Amino acid sequence: MDYELTETQEEIKNLAYQVALRDLKPVREKHDADGTFPWDAVKKMAAADLPGVYLPEAYGGLGGGLLDQVLVVEQLSRVCGGIALSFAATGLGALPIMLLGTAEQRQKYIPDLAAGRKLAAFSITEPAAGSDATATKTTAKLDGEHYVLDGTKIFVSNGEVAETYVVFASTNPARGARGVSAFIVEKGTPGFGFGKKEHKMGIRANPTYELVFQNCRVPKKNLLYKEGYGLFTAQTTFDCSRPGVAAQALGIAQGAMDETIAYIRQRKQFGQPISSFQAIQHMMADNATQIEASRALLYATAKSIDKAMKPVYDKAIADNAIVYDVMQAMNVRRYTKESAMSKCYCSDVAMKVTTDCVQMCGGIGYMADFPVEKYMRDAKITQIYEGTNQIQRNEIAAMMIKEAASSAKADAVSA
């Protein structure tokens, strides 16, 4: 399928796949087995300039957009969804700073992320606040020139290895959802420590950590946007980050099919390759069709967001303004529905495709020394994080109802 990628995007896509084959493939099994962090592979991704493909040139990036980021995540995940997550989770930590941060905050934090010198993380989940982030219990009390953070966050990807954390805490518990605010917290800040490291089903090369804040003094200037805008910051971020999860899912699905086709072409039963059996061919055909449909939806979403957001980023950087304020001034709409659709569809396809791939390979597909079962384990998380697929469906339906209400209102006015 011709997705009309630019020459640069084709190059980025090919480069990411070459890096994945050369630097991720030889170590993916080891890091999946022992759960250690693949620092060497991460440094090689940085040496290939991958971390900055989607970030503005003003901050040392290559000046691409969401589609460039999606292409990299897809190609890395095609080989290892776990190692790819160090790149994707840094994107999730960088985005709120890009979208809601001041020019000073962008200048201070983005260049290190663009160069791959540092990794980032995003921390909203708590023991009692998962799908319902309004239940945030971590507090941030203003004390002179600092906010004092107290509480525990859980399930943080890139935990402990990241240097820059975007953390959500309540500055006004009495206001509930409207009391939550977002902060940039640097690793090493006194009172900020790491608790439990999770033992997981998949994406095991990426550390998932508990963050513990005890009387942690964060400079006032590290507040993102305004007090009370934390959940708004999270949602605005998800509108642009969920295509990254979709890309991870798409890459995992494609990678599982790549491995499966290579196997079923040479495996013989009843005197013929198992790929010649119609039952297997129908699974292949359905999977390939669903993968291509995922790619079409995802790329169209990323292209739409890039088309809308590129002029916004350019103006915000030129004017030293906050990107979200420029979005408002330029009347640029949010892509909540399309991002949720991409994340939901691509991840459901990835779970189905990888499960079918294990089936097509038979017993060997279930074995840990054959790569396919890892794709199935890695796929599962894409249906859960950055909002479960139930939450994505809630959001898609809510947007549909809102759109229908406003078009009914417009029809009534013109009638």
Ligand X SMILES: Cc1cc2nc3c(=O)[nH]c(=O)nc-3n(C[C@H](O)[C@H](O)[C@H](O)COP(=O)(O)OP(=O)(O)OC[C@H]3O[C@@H](n4cnc5c(N)ncnc54)[C@H](O)[C@@H]3O)c2cc1C
Please name which of 137, 71, 57 lies closest in space to residue 299, comparing C-alpha atoms. Answer: 71
Site string for ligand X, 255-294 (x = CB under 6 A): ----------------------------------------
Which listed residue (126, 227, 259, 386) is catalytic?
A: 386
Q: Does 6 bind ligand X (CB under 6 A)?
A: no
Total residues in contact with ligand X, by rule CB under 6 A: 22
Minimum distance, C-beta of residue 123 to ligand X, in the bound complex (Å): 5
Site string for ligand X, 18-57 (x = CB under 6 A): ----------------------------------------
Please state, in angstroms and rounded to a whole number, the distance separating the CA atoms of residues 20 and 18. 5
Which of these segments, 11-19, 59-67, 120-128, 273-281, binds ligand X (CB under 6 A)? 120-128
Helix axes 278-318, 66-77, angle to 10 degrees: 140
- Whether the CB-CB separation of 137 and 129 falls below 8 Å is answered with yes
Which residue reads 């549909």 in tokens?
A: 400
Minimum distance, C-beta of residue 46 to ligand X, in the bound complex (Å): 20
- In order of 126, 207, 293, 389, 393, the CA distances from 299 in angstroms are 32, 29, 10, 19, 20
CB within 8 A of 141, min separation 6: which ones?
147, 148, 150, 171
- Residue 386 designated active-site: yes
Where are the alpha helices (H) located in 101-144, listed in sequence order?
103-114
Please state, in angstroms and rounded to a whole number, the distance separating the CA atoms of residues 172 and 21. 49
Among 134, 390, 406, 407, binds ligand X (CB under 6 A): 390
CB within 8 A of 34, min separation 6: which ones?
none
Q: Does 155 bind ligand X (CB under 6 A)?
A: yes
Q: Which CB, 227 or 386, lies closer to ligand X?
A: 386
**Nearest residue to ligand X on Cβ basis:** 130
Q: Which CB, 192 or 263, lies closer to ligand X?
A: 192
Which of these segments, 41-49, 50-58, 154-162, 343-351, binds ligand X (CB under 6 A)? 154-162
For residue 384, the 8-state DSSP code is T
Please name which of 310, 323, 257, 328 lies closest in space to residue 286, comparing C-alpha atoms. Answer: 257
Please name which of 86, 11, 102 lies closest in space to residue 44, comparing C-alpha atoms. Answer: 86
Site string for ligand X, 126-145 (x = CB under 6 A): ----xx--------------
Q: Does 384 bind ligand X (CB under 6 A)?
A: yes
Among 69, 164, 208, 336, binds ligand X (CB under 6 A): 208
Helix (H, G, I), strand (E, B) or coil at 200: coil
Minimum distance, C-beta of residue 166 to ligand X, in the bound complex (Å): 9
The two three-digit tokens of residue 225, written as one number: 């946007």
Q: Does 241 bind ligand X (CB under 6 A)?
A: no
Q: Does 156 bind ligand X (CB under 6 A)?
A: yes
Which of these segments, 59-67, 118-126, 239-247, 288-296, binds ligand X (CB under 6 A)? 118-126
- The residues annotated with a catalytic role in the active site are 386
Residue numbers of the site for ligand X (CB under 6 A)? 89, 121-125, 130-131, 155-157, 200, 208, 381, 384-388, 390-391, 394
